[in-house]
Structure 1
Amino acid sequence: MVVIDMTDINPDVLQRYAAGNCTAEERQLVEDWLENDDPLPESHTQYDTSLKREIWTGLTDKELKTRSNFGIRTYITIISAAAILVLLSLVFFFNTNSTQNLMQEELQQQTYIAPAGKTATMKLSDGTIVQLAGGSKFSYPAHFSGQTRTVTLISGEAFFKVKHDKKLPFIVQSSETQIKVLGTRFNLSNIAGRAKLAVTLTEGRISFKGKGEQETILKPGQQLIFNKKLNKIQSVTEVDTLYATGWTAGLLWFNQTPVTEILEKLDASYGVTFELKGHPDLNIHLTGKFRQQPLSRILKLIENSSDLRFDQQPDKKIIIYKAN
């Protein structure tokens, strides 16, 4: 790949790229630069590679074996009857306790928070794979019971590869909404503090239902946007699914995305926190595609495309301010 120095690129080209208005040649020029090594020092920022954590859950059945041997002939009828009664009582007692313990273990909810700046991959007891973006909070049972497999994305973003089981529908709950599937793959984004929830289907079929709403069926390649404040579906559109799921492969893709949302993605991907100094304008929209790029390169592109400036601190805190 051709090495392109940042100083060789006209700032106007970067601005047009970030605004989504550049030509195909200009886009290729910028993305070639993005693919090369970062020429800037990064003494305070370190990119964390993906963490894949396997969480296996299971239960061990317990078997009760009771043996009784009575060899007394005298009063055999009474003793046998009493022994049978005691045996049945013991079996009932232990079976009841065993069932109760099993139900308690099955219903026990586990809550997992993905480490900041890392993705976490989980394998649930039914074989379903869940990939969580950094900082996401996820709740699931130790073992599925009943007639459904129900989990909860409390906040953050997750990609689900649901194990097919037509007898036990898989249900994902999030902010009083419900996604019901049998076996499929889809992305769910429910960032804390954001008014909108997004569901993107890549394979199979799912039904989405908000509180008090009818079910909406999604087909592969469709994205549903749900307004949590208004409790209503805002839109269902055809999308490039890679735009929504690229984060699972280390790709950050912004398409006229508000800076506020970009900062949320950077927070989850790099484990940093942003702090405002003064009143910088975060309502601008930017475009860019980054595959496992150093954070400083992304920040540099934003700086060259706006009047925002970033000051990286040793404790992974980044100060945002407006250029003089």
Structure 2
Amino acid sequence: MKFVTDSISKIELDKLESELNHPSTNRLLNEYVKLNYRIDSKMKIYDTEKSKRLLLAKMRNDNKGPRKLKINRYLKYAALIVLSMTLGYLVKEFSFSEKIEPQFSPNENFITLEREDGNIQVISEEGTTQVFDKKGNVVGSQVGNQLVYKHSNDSEESLPVYNTLNVPYGKQFELKLEDGSVAYLNSGSSLKYPVNFQKGMERKIFLSGEAFLDVAKDKNRAFIVHASGLNVKVYGTRFNISAYPEDKIKEVVLVEGSVGMYATTNELQSGKETLLTPGTKGKYDNLIGDISKETVVTSIYTSWVQGVLVFRNMSFEDILKKLERHYDIEIVNQNSLLSSETFNASFEDMPIEKILDYFKSQYDIDYVIENDIVIVK
């Protein structure tokens, strides 16, 4: 133990070094290390103190032998204690640390409500709050993951007063408008809407991102969604609209009712409106301003409302975009050959690591996590 307390003499140190190189000591060390490693690896720790206690107990048992042998054994076990403590450090720092999988640090992103006067209110999903107009009247209330506005037969304002709900990456939120229409906002989306819809006027909202809309029927007031150059006109229907500013293609998937898609007011007035029927997806190309449509299975595009991610014939590049938004992470794809590859997969609510492991096991797509960034190799 003099080595540990730094009180060992030069002669004793030479003897210790000699014992370390002795074949019998090496054999004993190997046996001890194997046994102790197996025990401690099960516990996910390396217990240096326990190792010393085991060795000392072994030394006491061996003290029953002749005095000459005792001296050699003390040297032998002193060497083992030194190596055991060193081994404990190395095992802890290298062997076990390699088995610890990287974890993502949660980002402190908040849902916010921005009023027309510029005031910003933070929405806590675990709490409750009320929304006031500029006169101090309660116009809405929030409980958990839902914000509900009070119905008003007539608005006293000559012009609509708009609020904007911002939902960051990694979160989703439900909003019930004054007319009874419900908007489910997906991650990375914002919706600008009037506190009260005007009597006899079209019900207009402005979307950036993705939302599933269940629009209250009103034959006298059309419901208009303005979304990154695309406009959707309805009277009462249920549909999904994906219109993230960075996406080249904007999509509208109709579940129930009917909708009309158009790029500008002139197109609507000239009869160039593209009508969708249930089970149809409309695609708007930003670059060329073209609208096309096709028959689809609508549940594929609306499953996110129930917390399920569904990818069908989707490019790997688009899958990574959706994962970034859903989990609020950054993904760097270093394998350009994968970008245009298409995949089919479905995932219920689970950690992002599970999804990445799926692609690794099924398609041999390797990845690493560095500083909360996923790097696809």
Give the TM interval when normalised to the shorter protein: 0.5 to 0.7
Q: Distance in 2 between matches of 1:115 and 1:293?
A: 19
| Corresponding position: 1:263 with 2:323 | no
| Corresponding position: 1:249 with 2:306 | yes
Q: Distance in 2 between matches of 1:277 and 1:109?
A: 43
CA apart distance, 1:54: 1.3
Correspondence for 1:150: 204
Equivalent residue for 1:103, pick from 141, 158, 163: 158
Q: Distance in 1 between matches of 2:358 and 2:151?
A: 48
Bigger proportion of residues as helix: 2
CA distance 1:194–1:169, change in 2 (3 Å): same
Task: Let me know the Cα RMSD of the aligned residues.
Answer: 2.9
Equivalent residue for 2:278, pick from 208, 220, 223: 220
| Corresponding position: 1:192 with 2:245 | yes
Q: Secondary structure at the match of 1:103?
A: coil
Query: How far does the alpha carbon of each residue in 1:71-121 deviate from its partner, in whole angstroms, 9 at most, with x for none?
Result: xxxxxxxxxxxxxxxxxxxxxxxxxxx95xx224xx222221113211100
> Is there any run of 5+ residues in structure 2 with no aligned partner, and where?
1-99, 110-124, 127-143
Q: Secondary structure at the match of 1:54?
A: strand
Equivalent residue for 2:220, pick from 167, 173, 195: 167
Count residues with an aligned counterpart: 239
Q: Distance in 2 between matches of 1:207 and 1:263?
A: 30
Q: Distance in 1 between matches of 2:105 and 2:362?
A: 21
| Corresponding position: 1:119 with 2:179 | no
CA apart distance, 1:263: 1.4
| Corresponding position: 1:54 with 2:147 | yes
Q: Distance in 1 between matches of 2:298 and 2:319?
A: 18
Q: Distance in 1 between matches of 2:276 and 2:162?
A: 29
CA apart distance, 1:162: 0.3
> Is there any run of 5+ residues in structure 1 with no aligned partner, and where?
1-39, 62-97
Equivalent residues in 2 for 1:305-320, closer than 5 Å = 305-306=362-363, 308-313=365-370, 317-320=372-375
CA contact (8 A) 1:179 1:206 kept: yes
Q: Secondary structure at the match of 1:261?
A: helix
Q: Distance in 1 between matches of 2:102 and 2:285?
A: 39
| Corresponding position: 1:299 with 2:352 | no
CA apart distance, 1:270: 1.6
CA contact (8 A) 2:228 2:245 kept: no
CA apart distance, 1:267: 1.9
Which protein shows a greater Rg?
A: 2
CA apart distance, 1:276: 4.7
- Which residue identity lines up with residue 44 of structure 1 in the other structure? F
CA contact (8 A) 1:42 1:296 kept: no
Percent identity for Structure 1 against Structure 2:
30
CA contact (8 A) 1:280 1:320 kept: no
CA distance 1:181–1:59, change in 2 (3 Å): closer
Equivalent residue for 1:135, pick from 178, 188, 203: 188
| Corresponding position: 1:44 with 2:104 | yes
CA contact (8 A) 2:230 2:284 kept: no
CA contact (8 A) 2:163 2:194 kept: yes
Q: Distance in 1 between matches of 2:220 and 2:304?
A: 32
Q: Secondary structure at the match of 2:326?
A: helix
More relative contact order in 1 or in 2 (CA 8 Å, sep 6+)?
A: 1
Q: Distance in 2 between matches of 1:237 and 1:267?
A: 27
- Which residue identity lines up with residue 147 of structure 1 in the other structure? M
CA apart distance, 1:196: 0.3
Equivalent residues in 2 for 1:23-34, closer than 5 Å = none
Query: How far does the alpha carbon of each residue in 1:301-321 deviate from its partner, in whole angstroms, 9 at most, with x for none?
Result: 22234454333356xx32313
- Which residue identity lines up with residue 210 of structure 2 in the other structure? E
Q: Distance in 1 between matches of 2:153 and 2:236?
A: 26
CA distance 1:296–1:55, change in 2 (3 Å): same
- Which residue identity lines up with residue 203 of structure 2 in the other structure? R
TM-score of the aligned structures, taking structure 1 as reference length: 0.66
Q: Distance in 2 between matches of 1:46 and 1:288?
A: 25
CA distance 1:124–1:152, change in 2 (3 Å): same
CA apart distance, 1:197: 0.5
